Amino acid sequence: MKTASWISLALGSAGALAGLGAYAVNGRSSTLLAPSVWRGPRDRPSYALTFDDGPSESTPRLLDLLDAYSVKATFFLVGANVRRLPTIAREVFRRGHEVGNHGDRHPYYCFQSPAFVYRDIVAGQRAIEDALGFSPWLFRPPFGLRWAGMREAQRACGLVGVQWSVMGRDWRLSAGEIAQRLTAGVAPGAILCLHDGRELAIDPDIRPTITAVRALLLHRATQGLQPVTISALFAPELFLEAEGLTGLP
């Protein structure tokens, strides 16, 4: 009986540690491996539209849609895609959208060394600097996964981590299913995550994303709510409190 109790205790402890590890890596509100924000204030009539994995050849079509509705969004760009399509990256910024870092090669950071994580984040930062002439101060890790070394890399680059409250899953769902997820989750302070690219794919088909965004903007769930950039969603003091920074870049 004593042996069985020790085995049960060991298994329970192992399960608890595994659960804690999964939360540290993938929990949207976790700050164990790197700090981040995942939703904005609930007392303001606004939500943030964000797009990952760009730029791609399909990004200009999304930009045209956002222009038609006078909407500004935040684009988390992949360094390799910026180097491949610098003109489109510059067009994102020229049209008034906010730009953040989404890493350089969109790798999984899990089980990589802290040095690997740091190099990929810095390379993404430099690609955006070279194309746009400034350093972004927002960062979303590839796949939204945190890992050892990310906290130090964010601090060294002056980056604020950004997760999401609603994931569109637009790389696999139909336009109707994406729109349903978005309209069900949109609310004051929500951060919606979509994609204007598909990791490092060339000329990806993002028509379901574009159709779903149009449906979202026309849906009664969004009436009275303003889609904004991440910076506009948060007051600076909230970023300072969330990240423990002493000043903004």
Q: What positions carry a catalytic annotation?
A: 52, 195
Per-residue DSSP letter, 91: H
- Exposed, middle or buried by CB within 10 Å (0-12, 13-18, 19+), for 26? middle
φ, ψ (nearest 5 deg) of residue 50: -130, 150
Q: How far apart are CA 32 and CA 27, in angstroms?
A: 9
Q: Assess contact for 156 and 135: CB atoms under 8 A.
A: no
Question: Reduced to 3 states, what is the DSSP secondary structure of residue 56?
Answer: coil
Q: How far is CA 156 from the centre of its chain?
A: 19
Q: How far apart are CA 28 and CA 208, in angstroms?
A: 25
Q: Assess contact for 38 and 165: CB atoms under 8 A.
A: yes
